[in-house]
Each structure stands twice: as structure tokens, then as C-alpha cells.
């Protein structure tokens, strides 16, 4: 499908269902964390899913490609990014399956009906004011630092929008794990699955994937970790499977 691209934009092949995604390297491009989250999350047949802070729309698009979910929604506060995501949805002829809504995560429970989604996902900003230097480029700063929303904002929105028994999937940084679990349990999202991601088998984890269930019982399963590279520049078989190569 021919589509108008704006300055600095390009279409990248997602290697799934012939889908592509519009990205602007000058603003922000999705990373491996989004792809890993789409592989970790489970959207069952007939379920509806919401992605909080969807950016380019990568997670709804990948989840639509990988699952039998009924409908997918992405919420994004930056109008330019939301417009890019909508054009990617149109590029892939997914207008009947995916909606992109421009709005604030802190207002999510007013934008959508409470307890209306089976699944909520999020790849939120990892860094707060005490972690690292903010990127001077605002789109990248918003994606990486808690400029417009906090971890608690994301968790609170997920808790309000999930049906009882609904599942919340998030990718984050291990150094904030205690804070993450505290926020989840505060909002009655019980952590049920956790998977660490290591760049190499002998390196410490640099990402964590978490599934929490609204109103679930207290019990967590720590799954085998994901190892990204078996040697520099060479992905492990698991990563190739997740990417769909």
C-alpha cells in the first residue's frame, strides 16, 4: 500500500504477516523490549487488549499478528506519534482490528470504560528523576524517562481498566523490581509470571517481563530467562523465534 511519509520517516518490515511499521529515527524507534513484550504477552481468542503508551503502535500490531485477539487499542499522548501509529495501522489494513487513541495515561480511566479490557500491556518509561540523564530530544525523553507519567500511573490505569481476572503485561528494568511489585500489589494486580532477560548468559539481567492478574491469588512463577545473544552480533534461537525469522 502506498502511504505518505513525512520528513525523516521510513517503513520498516516487521517480518510478520507482511506487516510494516512507520518510524522516524530522529524521534523514536521501537526496541527489542517491545518485541519481547509482544512475545511474552498472551491475548486469547476473542479477547480485547489495550497498550498504554503505545508509541509507534508496535505492540498492538505485533499482538494482532501473533494472536487471535478480537480487538486491540493503543493509547499515546504525543499527537505526532499517535498519527504515525494510525498511518501504520492503515498501511497494514488493520483499521477494523486496531484503534489508536490520543490521550494521557493518567486520564485512561476516563477515556475508556472501567473493567473493559481482558489484557493491558505497557512498555513504560524506565527511568525516574534519579536514574540517568534525560535525553534533550523530547520524544525520546518521554519514551525513556517518567516525564509525563510514572510507574504508579501506568499500574493504576491498568488496574482500573482490566476486567476481574484480566492480565497486565509489562517490560521494565530489574533495578526497579521491588518498586514494581509494590505498585502492582497496591493496586491488587498480583504478579503471576516473571522472566528475566540477559544480554549474554554470563551478564546480569537488563530487562524483566512481568505478568500480573487483577485480583489473582498470591503465587509467582519465575520462568527460565531469555538470553539475547549467544555471541556478539548473533541472536540465540529463542530471539529468532520471537522475532519470527
Which CATH number fits the domain that encloses residue 86?
3.40.50.150
Q: Residue 138: is its pLDDT beyond 60?
A: no
The pTM of this model reads 0.91
Give the pLDDT band of residue 125 (cuts 50, 70, 90): confident
Q: Residue 129: is its pLDDT beyond 80?
A: no
> What is the domain extent for residue 44?
10-243
Q: Residue 149: is its pLDDT beyond 80?
A: yes
According to the model, what pLDDT value does residue 67 have? Answer: 96
Number of domains the chain is built from: 1
C-alpha 208/C-alpha 114 separation (Å) is 27
Q: Is residue 143 part of a domain?
A: yes
Q: Is residue 3 part of a domain?
A: no
Give the pLDDT band of residue 216 (cuts 50, 70, 90): very high
Q: Is residue 205 part of a domain?
A: yes
pLDDT in tens, 45-101: 999 999 999 999 999 999 999 999 999 999 999 999 999 999 999 999 999 999 999
Helix (H, G, I), strand (E, B) or coil at 190: strand
Cell, residue 225: 530467562
Q: Which long-range contacts (CB under 8 A, 24 or more apart) does 64-71 make?
A: 64/94, 64/97, 64/98, 65/14, 65/16, 65/17, 65/19, 66/16, 66/38, 66/39, 67/42, 67/43, 68/43, 68/44, 69/43, 69/44, 69/45, 69/119, 70/45, 70/46, 71/97, 71/98, 71/99
C-alpha 245/C-alpha 238 separation (Å) is 10
Q: Is residue 4 part of a domain?
A: no
Q: Is residue 56 part of a domain?
A: yes
According to the model, what pLDDT value does residue 176 have? Answer: 94
C-alpha 230/C-alpha 217 separation (Å) is 37
Q: Residue 194: is its pLDDT beyond 50?
A: yes
According to the model, what pLDDT value does residue 126 have? Answer: 72
Q: Is residue 1 part of a domain?
A: no
Q: Residue 145: is its pLDDT beyond 70?
A: no
Q: Is residue 22 part of a domain?
A: yes
DSSP count for the chain of H helices, then E strands:
8, 13
Q: Is residue 5 part of a domain?
A: no
Amino acid at each position: 500500500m502506498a502511504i505518505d511519509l513525512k520528513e525523516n520517516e521510513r517503513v520498516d518490515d516487521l517480518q510478520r504477516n507482511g506487516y510494516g511499521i512507520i518510524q522516524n529515527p530522529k524521534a523514536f524507534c521501537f526496541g527489542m523490549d517491545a518485541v519481547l513484550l509482544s512475545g511474552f504477552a498472551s491475548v486469547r481468542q476473542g479477547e480485547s487488549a489495550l497498550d498504554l503508551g503505545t508509541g509507534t503502535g508496535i505492540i498492538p500490531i505485533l499482538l494482532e499478528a501473533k494472536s487471535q485477539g478480537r480487538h486491540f487499542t493503543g493509547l499515546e499522548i504525543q499527537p505526532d506519534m499517535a498519527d504515525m501509529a494510525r498511518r501504520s495501522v492503515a498501511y497494514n489494513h488493520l483499521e477494523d482490528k486496531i484503534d489508536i487513541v490520543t490521550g494521557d495515561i493518567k486520564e485512561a480511566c476516563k477515556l475508556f470504560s472501567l473493567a473493559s479490557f481482558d489484557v493491558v500491556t505497557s512498555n513504560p518509561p524506565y527511568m525516574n528523576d534519579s536514574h540517568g540523564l534525560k535525553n534533550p530530544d523530547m520524544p525520546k525523553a518521554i519514551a525513556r524517562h517518567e516525564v509525563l507519567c510514572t510507574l504508579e500511573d501506568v499500574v493504576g490505569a491498568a488496574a482500573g481498566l482490566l476486567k476481574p481476572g484480566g492480565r497486565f503485561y509489562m517490560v521494565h528494568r530489574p533495578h526497579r523490581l521491588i518498586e514494581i511489585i509494590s505498585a502492582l500489589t497496591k493496586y491488587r494486580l498480583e504478579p503471576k509470571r516473571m522472566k528475566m532477560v540477559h544480554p549474554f548468559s554470563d551478564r546480569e539481567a537488563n530487562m524483566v517481563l512481568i505478568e500480573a492478574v487483577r485480583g489473582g491469588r498470591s503465587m509467582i512463577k519465575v520462568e527460565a530467562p531469555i538470553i539475547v545473544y549467544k555471541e556478539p552480533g548473533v541472536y540465540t534461537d529463542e530471539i529468532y523465534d520471537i522475532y519470527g525469522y
